[in-house]
Amino acid sequence: MRRAIAATAAVILTGALIATAPAQARNQSAAGPDDVDTTSLTNAVKVKGIMAHQQQFQKIANANDGTRASGTPGYDASADYVARKLREAGYDVTRQTFTFPFFRELSPTTLTQLTPTQQELETAIFTYSGSGDVSGSVVPTNDLVIPATPAPSSTSGCQASDFDAAPAEPSIALIQRGSCTFEAKVDNAKAAGYDAAIIFNEGNPGRTDLAIGTLGVPKDIPVVGLSYADAVALNEDIVAGGATAHVTTDVEVDLERETENVIADLPSNSKTTNPDQTVVVGAHLDSVVEGAGINDNGSGSSTILETAEQMSELRLNKNLERPVRFAFWGAEESGLLGSEHYVANLSEAELADIYANLNYDMLGSPNYVRFVYDGDGSDTSPAGPPGSGEIEKIFTDHFDSKGLASDPTEFSGRSDYGPFIAVGIPAGGLFSGAEGVKTAEQAATYGGTAGAAYDPCYHQACDDITNLNSDALHELGDAAAHATGVMTMSKAGLFTDGSRTPQRTTAKQGSGEAHGHPAR
C-alpha cells in the first residue's frame, strides 16, 4: 500500500504535517498460504483512500454533537455513508438492526472527598451506572491489595463476603479492579446495601490511571472510577479514622435504543470456488459518546471500507476462492453488542459457512505498536480456535517480509472477534494500542514515547482527525489488506489437510467488554 497523500489534502496528524509523498514501488507482499500474491491489492489500498473516509467520519461527527456513538444521529449518518459507498462498489448491503441499552452522561460526574479533608477527586462514570446523588461514609472491601502486587492479583468485590454489611446511613463502597467483571463487583456491593460504588485501578504496571469501564447492563446505583494513587490516599484516611465522600451522576438510559450492523456481501451472481467458506472481515463503526472516534475505530472501519472498494475496483471479487463479507459493527463500545447479535442470530448452516474472522480495531494510534492477535497462544493465553495460529502467521510473515517487528496481543475478549472465537471460528487481526503504556523496549523497536499511552486521546473528545499516525495506518493497513487477500484467494486455506472448517462449539460469548472498557 503506497503512502500517497496529495499536497492539497495534506493533513495534520499527531502534530506533524504529512506532506505529499511520491508513489513508490513496493516489494511483493509476503506469500501466505498457497503463495498468494496480494501486491495489486496492497498497492491499491492507500493511506490517502483511508483518510478520505476518515475525513467524512469527522465531518459527520462535527455535524452531530461531536459523536458517532451507536444510538445517535452521528452513528446513523456513518452507517448511511458506509452503506452508500459499499453499494456504489457493487456489494449487496444488508442493514441488520437490533436494540440495545443506550447510555450517556447528561452532566459531569463528580466525586468529592468531604472528610477528613475536603477535595475534588478526578473521576469518570462507568457505562451503565445509575443516576444519583449520594453523600456518606466510604467503606472499602475487606480484601484490598495495597500495595499492589507486581502482577494483577486483586479479587476485591468478586464475592459477597468481600463486603461488610453497609451501615444504616448512606454509604459508598470502595472496590479495587481485578479478577472478575465490574458488573459482578457492583452487584455484590448493591446486595450488601451500598448506595454507590467507587472502583479504583489495581495498581500494577499499566493499571494505575483512572479506572473506566462498562457494567454490561444498566445499574441503579452511581458507579464511578478512581486512580490507584487517589484510592491509596483515600484508604489511608479511612484506616486513620474514616472518610466521607459525595458522588453525583446524571445519565440517560434507553433500554431499547435501535442501531444496526452494516454488512456487505459479494453480489448474488458472484461465483467463488468454495462458496461455503465465508471470510468475515470486520471493524466496529461506532465511537464512544465522548468523541468522534476517528482512531477508535474510524481507522479500522476506513481501512476495511477502502479494502472493499479496491477489491471491487481491481475485480478481485470475480476470482476469489472464498466469499468475503465486510461487516461494520454497531454498539461495540457498549459491549460488543453488534457482533454478538450477528453471531447469535446465525442459523446452524450459516454458522457452519463462516470460515474465519479478521478483526481490525484501532490501526492508527499516535504512539503505536504493531500488535497481532496471538492466535496460537504461544506468548499469551488463551489460544484462539484451531486456525487462529495460521491467521496470526499471515500477519507476522507479512511484517517479517517488510523488515518490521510485531508484538503479540492476547485474545482478551476486548473486541469483536470475541463472539466468533466463542463459537469456535478461527480469528485474527491487528491492533495499534489503546490506553496501555508503551514500554522502553517497545519504544526502542517502534519509536515513539516510552511511558506514554499508545493513544493519549483514547475514548476522549480529542480522538479526532488529528489523533492519527500515518505510518501506523500505512503499515497496519497494508497488512490488513494483505491478510484479507490471502484469506479469500488462497487455495490451500488454513488447514493443511484441506478440511473445510474447524470443529464448532455452541458456547456463546457472555456479556462482552469493549476494548475500551476493561472488564477486570
- Please give the positions annotated as active site: 332
Report DSSP letters for 268-335, one per residue: TT---S-TT-EEEEEEE--B-TTS--TTTTHHHHHHHHHHHHHHHHTTGGGS-SS-EEEEEESSGGGT
Label the pairing between strands 223-226 and 196-200. Answer: parallel
Q: Which residue has the cell 454498539?
A: 331
Question: What is the SS3 string spanning 134-188?
Answer: EEEEEEECCCCCCCCCCCCCCCCCCCHHHCCCCCCCCEEEEEECCCCCHHHHHHH
What whole-number distance in Å separates Cα of residue 373 and Cα of residue 488?
Answer: 19
Largest CA distance in the chain: 75
Number of H helices, E strands in the chain: 12, 15
Q: What are 27's three cell numbers?
A: 516489494
Other beta carbons within 10 Å of 350? 11
What one-character DSSP code corresponds to residue 498? Answer: -
| Listed residue (231, 250, 91) closest to 172, CA to CA | 231
101 DSSP β-pair partners = none
Chain-centroid distance, C-alpha 302: 15
Run of H or E including 440: helix 440-446
Using DSSP, state whether 250 is helix, strand or coil: strand
DSSP bridge pairs for 103: 253
- Residue 130 DSSP code: P
Q: Could you tell me whether strands 278-284 and 223-226 are parallel, antiparallel, or unpaired per DSSP bridges? A: unpaired
Distances (CA, A) of 6 to 9, 26, 383, 473: 5, 19, 42, 16
Closest CA to 429 of 465, 502, 375, 364: 375
Other beta carbons within 10 angstroms of residue 135's beta carbon come to: 17
- Exposure class string for 483-518: b at 16+ Cβ within 10 A, else e: bbbbbbbbeebbeeeeeebbeeeeeebbebbbbbbb
**C-alpha torsion sign, points 64, 66, 67, 72:** negative
Residue 445 burial by Cβ neighbours in a 10 Å radius (0-12, 13-18, 19+):
middle
